[in-house]
Amino acid sequence: MTDHELLELAAKAAGIGRTAWDYEHTRSLGFMVTKKSMWNPLEDDGEALRLAVKLGIDIKGSMAHANWRYAVYDGSTYAEMSTDHAKATRRAIVRAAAAIGESMP
């Protein structure tokens, strides 16, 4: 799954509109934005933490393991650890949120 698809599904789970995260779409509407001004929990620690809190995602240990529960759906995901533990943790959060978004109608 691409980063764009991950963000789309994570935004769906969090109830975040397309103009907040989809740079190309927002620019096509005539808005003056930069990629840094867009919602991107893959790049921003604060946005990733707020996403995790909003969706009830738990991050455990240095393995960047995210657990979630949405309705009757349970699951977990792992992000490969590298020397950048924050990046791996953000990716685990977004992957868990994307799985929640994917399970939503």
**Which token pair is 23?**
């740079």
User: In 3D, which of 45, 89, 31, 53 has the Cα closest to residue 20?
Assistant: 31
Instruction: Give a yes or no: residue 22 inside a domain.
Output: no
The pTM (predicted TM-score) of the whole model is 0.85
CA–CA distances in Å: residue 51 to residues 24, 27, 31, 32, 73? 22, 24, 24, 25, 18
| Residue 60 located in a structural domain | yes
Mark the ranges of the chain whose per-residue pLDDT is less than 70: 61-82
Range of the domain at 75: 3-13+40-103
Look at residue 26 in the predicted model and tell me its pLDDT.
Answer: 93
- 76 assigned to some structural domain: yes
Residue 45 lies in a domain: yes
33 lies in some domain = no
pLDDT of residue 60: 76
Asked whether residue 65 is assigned to any structural domain, the reply reads yes
Count the domains in the chain: 1
Give me the sign of the Cα torsion angle 13, 15, 21, 22. Answer: positive
